[in-house]
A and B are shown apart, each in its own frame.
Chain A
Amino acid sequence: MLFMKTKQFLISVIVICFSLNVFSQIQSIDTTLVVAENQEAELAFNNGNVFYLEDNFEKAIIEFTKALTYNPSFVKALINRGSAYAKLLKHNNAVQDFNQALSIDNNNNLAYYGKGIAHYYLSEYVEAEISLSNAMLNGLNSDNVYYYAGVVFFEKGEYQKALENYTLAISFNSKNALAYNDRGSVKRALLDFDGAIVDYLAAIKIDPKMAVAYNNMGSAKWKKGDKEGAGLDYGMAVRIKPDYFIAYNNRASVRFEMKDFDGAIMDCEKAIQINPNYAYAYNNMGNAKIKLKKYAEAEIDFTKAININSNFAIAYLNRGICKERVRNFDGAIKDWEIANSLGIEKAQNYIQFYR
């Protein structure tokens, strides 16, 4: 309170000096300079927005929090702080703020929207679906609200609903490359590979630098049996995004299937160089080395994959096969037992052969 009074006093002094025209020969006075009342909450809120727009979300949160200490029912501050929390991936805090905002204003579509997105990132798909639906019911009609609804349905495996929502998102904004990409992924899940490729291409047409769409298109082509086309698409993905280790790993797998084992190893090495903890790449590199009969090296790769992820059942399964190739039958059986305990049923058949 003392601070507030001091500030008010200072501003008042300035205005008085201004009015007295001590220094200058003022011809007109801007009346907006008159400080009439205390609006510290609003000031803090606006300051928060400035920081938010500068992507300085930590400082934005401080300002929004300041605004809320002045006015705990300041819905806009709650929404914006929730949104800033979401930007910092603190989705639980975000949900709390959005819920608080909705407890004050039950029809606030922005609060529902933000809450829906935060629930999505918390993998709480049912809550996300409800919130996004409420956002729509309360008048929020944008491509992104339908896009997120599509995403949530996709995650829930409700592909038909996902398809409908992505299509609505596209109808609201025909330049929404993400919606095209995701709709392609839905079609892929529905085994409509040609349809998927058409959508991925549409996404790429809108955003030629969309490496993800190239990667996904590669996978759709791979599933269609077009390994060569898949390899080229993965190649485009890594050309656009040189640190795209997932695409390198995917191209490694296509090369593996095309029996280009040296090429597969090179791609796995690249993926690992970018992401040294990418267990999948170690696993796939091990497979390629088995094919090249480099069993000792392959076993090391599988072990690295397992060290990264001790529950990596497939790496255990493959390491068992690798050990079998060098007649380490006991070692193979132990690995298959672990793979089996981690859920791979066929490992039991492998073990059975030796009993």
Chain B
Amino acid sequence: MNYQKILLIVLILSSYWGNAQNVPFSMDTFNGDKQKYKEAQSFLKNAEEAFEREYYSIALEFYLKANEYNQNNAQLNYQIGLSYLNSVNRFLCLSYFERAFQLNRDIDREIHLMLARGLHLNMRFDEAVNEYKAHLGILSPEQLRNIKEDIEKLIYECEVGKELMLSDANSFVDNMGHVINTKYHEHSPLISADESMLIFTSTRDNGRKVDEEGHYDEDIYISYNKRKLWETPENIFEPVNTQFNDATVGLSPDGQKLLIYNGNKGNGDIQICWLNGDTWIYPKNLPNEINSEFKESSACFSPDGNKLYFVSDRLDGFGGSDIYVSKKSKRGKWQEPTNLGNFINSEFDEETVYMHPDGRKLYFSSCGHNTMGGYDIFVSYLNENNQWSVPENLGYPVNSPDDDLCFVISADGRHGYFSSIRADGYGGLDIFRTTFLGPEKPLTLCNEDNLIAVRTNPISEQVMEKSVELKTIRLTIVKGLVSDAFTNNPVLAQIDIVDNNTSEVIYTSQTNSATGKFLVTLPSGKNYALTVKADDYLFHSENFNIPQATEYQEVEKQIKLNNLKKDAKIVLNNVFFETGSSKLKPTSYAELGRLTKLLTDHSKLKIEISGHTDNKGAKTTNQKLSEARAKAVVDFLVSEGVENARLTFVGYAFDQPIADNSTEEGRARNRRVEFKILQN
């Protein structure tokens, strides 16, 4: 690459660097517009204050306003990313972290971790893993010790996510729609067995703001499904809903008992209320066996109502919140609960438990096991020996890299309802319905083999009777005239017919001394050499390959004999080679024998053996082949006792044709070996 090209590439790249430059919030940026500068500064200040107080949604509001004035400030983009990551719609953080990194690669020591979180939440698992690893790579040994385990768990979650994404989606997930969901949180759905009634929790506007971020406290709502449409939910009001957070927790299969969470009791306790006609009776705390000094956040009844599964973060668990079960005594009293054990409970938090009406399938959320991120929903099966199976992740699309909680399922197992935050949500947590497509339907591959080889590799044997011996044989009659090549006078010559396969002379004749004419008959089915010899002349040979099936035919030949003098040459018509090779065929031996005898009888003869080809194929190949064939003849003669010094060989490829190369017959004639007398 030359210097100018390098310069051009650098110039192009630098234009991108120019675009990606960090733009500070200074007066210059606002082109002296003091008013706008002040507005932007004000938004930033408010945002920072809210951020400091961890009011991320408020901070986000101000940051986003400031961002409208300058979208190319690395720090602002980073802060927006952080605010999103700490608020509800966490997956929105990614584009801001990416922009911050683009503007300033050193924006923060944790930028790779933040990018990883954003990528993870957006299910870009491979890239997330790379960023997690990049973050690990820049940590000091001490930092690494503190955080390595956490990051490795996140990397594992990404691997799980990848695998779950690849597995068959045997369900659909739909947002419950704007009638149920609002821009506020909706969660903890409870469904009647026939799916005609939905009770859930929402932080929608109930007129009672509870914090500086403008959130309303949680209330419980109820909606009925009429003609496949959910009606507008209604607040079920007091005594169930209070001025504090009231949230749905569990519903008995008959829909008559409602378990609710009251955040104002203890550290969070579970209460029960009964339906009396169409009125819910005042909630009552579950006994101390269930509600402890710790937080109890979720509960459900077994189908017979004699067991209560609940979630508690009491200290005797396996880590974080665990799932416990309490059995009702014969007197109807809840007994001391037991931990469901380490098959169900991991070292991380378990939450939101639900027992299917069949009493065998326990659904719950967990941050442990093989979650793809945050809480995932799992199911564990109770076997006949009352042992829980290893929990199975419900997989994508039910689970996502963010929190998926509060799963309940219809009695027929077709539909599940749960809370999650998704891109198609209305804001905050929404309630989603998943439709299960029944047992897995495996895709069927179609393959075949060639088990019986003969079907594809036919045996090439001939199932046939051999030819029969005939008493009559088809003939080829060769007739012609032998004359002196110079004077054209008839020549008395000996004509030998040689069976090339056996090298035997099978027939000898002579030309008519007066006319030079001859006639010989060649029975079909053999390869013949016809040689013409006369004193003081070079011999002449013809080849007749006559297949068995050849009918009667006549061939005429005008044969000119050359004297044994310098530059006289003949074609060795009965020298044969293997196809494309310089290996002599045994059928050549008779002809070469004649040549040997000629050289023996005339000891002063020095000759040139030349090889020739047709014009098919490359010149270099033909050159090599013609030369090798000429040499093979010379080697044969030497092996028969002819002095090497009397012999030269040369290859002419297709430089000296004696016939038209455009016809097969002509090409056959051009493929030949000649000898020429160099000295006599």
Contact = CB atoms under 8 A, between A and B. Distances in A.
A130 B473 CA distance: 41
A35 B448 contact: no
A76 B465 contact: yes
Contacts of A210: 453, 457
A216 B443 CA distance: 23
Interface residues of A, number: 87
B509 A26 contact: yes
Interface in A274-288: 279-280, 283-284, 287
B507 interface: yes
A46 B472 contact: no
B465 A14 contact: no
A280 B447 contact: yes
A39 B463 contact: no
Nearest to A25: B510
A42 to B, nearest CB: 5
B10 interface: no
Contact of A36 (B454, B471, B495, B552): B471
Given A26-B509, A50-B547, A324-B437, A11 B475 contact: yes
Interface string B164-181: 001011001000000000
A49 B518 CA distance: 33
B107 interface: no
A250 B449 contact: yes
Given A147-B454, A324-B437, A350-B438, A83 B462 contact: yes
A311 B552 CA distance: 59
Interface in A40-71: 42-43, 45-47, 49-53
B468 A46 contact: yes
B599 interface: no
A120 B423 CA distance: 64
Contacts of A219: 447, 449
A23 B523 contact: no
A327 B172 contact: yes
Contact of A154 (B169, B438, B451, B475): B451
Contacts of A22: 519
B450 A216 contact: yes
A25 B512 contact: yes
B467 interface: yes
Nearest to B441: A321
B456 A212 contact: yes
Nearest to B442: A321
Contacts of B506: 30
B451 A249 contact: no
Interface centre among A37, A155, A256, A287 (most CB of B within 10 A): A287
B1 interface: no
Nearest to A220: B449
A79 B462 CA distance: 11
B452 A33 contact: no
B9 interface: no
B511 interface: yes
B518 A24 contact: yes
A246 B518 contact: no
Contact of A215 (B444, B450, B463, B472): B450
B466 interface: yes
A168 interface: no
Contact of A188 (B450, B451, B456): B451
B454 A151 contact: yes
Contact of B519 (A24, A33, A42, A287): A24
Interface in A251-272: 253, 256-257, 259
Interface in B494-527: 495, 506-513, 517-521, 523
A253 B447 contact: yes
Contacts of B441: 321, 324, 350
A10 B553 CA distance: 11
Contacts of A290: 443
A185 B452 contact: yes
Contacts, number: 190
A14 B454 CA distance: 50
A216 B552 CA distance: 53
A116 to B, nearest CB: 10
Nearest to A257: B445
A290 B446 CA distance: 15
B549 A32 contact: no
Nearest to B451: A185
B169 A212 contact: no
Nearest to B459: A144
B461 interface: yes
A134 interface: no
Contact of A30 (B453, B456, B477, B507): B507
A150 B454 CA distance: 11
Contacts of A350: 438, 441
A26 to B, nearest CB: 5
Interface string A187-226: 0110000000000000100000010110110010000000
A318 B464 contact: no
A79 B464 contact: yes
B551 to A, nearest CB: 9
B479 interface: yes
B7 to A, nearest CB: 39
A182 interface: yes
Given A25-B511, A317-B444, A37 B472 contact: yes
A117 interface: yes
A353 B413 CA distance: 11
B603 interface: no
A26 B446 CA distance: 76
Contacts of A7: 552
B232 interface: no
Contact of B552 (A11, A280, A291): A11
B465 A33 contact: no
Given A14-B521, A27-B509, A216-B450, A114 B463 contact: yes
B474 to A, nearest CB: 8
Contacts of B549: 46-47, 50-51
A11 B447 CA distance: 63
B548 interface: yes
Contact of A24 (B166, B466, B474, B511): B511
Contacts of B444: 283, 287, 314, 317-318
Given A24-B512, A47-B548, A287-B445, A33 B470 contact: no
A76 B447 contact: no
A283 B519 CA distance: 73
B94 to A, nearest CB: 22
A329 to B, nearest CB: 9
B523 A39 contact: no
A213 B453 contact: yes
A188 B449 CA distance: 12
A28 B505 CA distance: 12
Contacts of A17: 519
Given A210-B457, A321-B441, A79 B463 contact: yes
B548 to A, nearest CB: 5
Nearest to B520: A24
Given A79-B463, A250-B447, A283-B446, 7 more contacts: A10-B552, A11-B552, A32-B523, A33-B523, A36-B471, A50-B548, A213-B453
29 contacts: A14-B475, A22-B519, A23-B517, A23-B518, A24-B520, A26-B509, A27-B508, A27-B509, A28-B507, A33-B473, A42-B470, A45-B468, A47-B548, A75-B465, A79-B464, A79-B465, A83-B462, A147-B454, A178-B459, A185-B449, A219-B449, A246-B448, A249-B448, A280-B448, A287-B444, A314-B444, A318-B443, A321-B443, A324-B437
Interface of A: 7, 10-11, 14, 17-18, 22-28, 30, 32-39, 42-43, 45-47, 49-53, 75-76, 79-80, 83, 86, 110, 113-114, 117, 144, 147-148, 151, 154-155, 177-178, 181-182, 185, 188-189, 203, 210, 212-213, 215-216, 219, 246, 249-250, 253, 256-257, 259, 279-280, 283-284, 287, 290-291, 293, 314, 317-318, 321, 324-325, 327, 349-350, 353
Pick the 6 closest A-B CB pairs, nearest first.
A23-B519, A76-B465, A185-B451, A280-B446, A47-B549, A178-B453
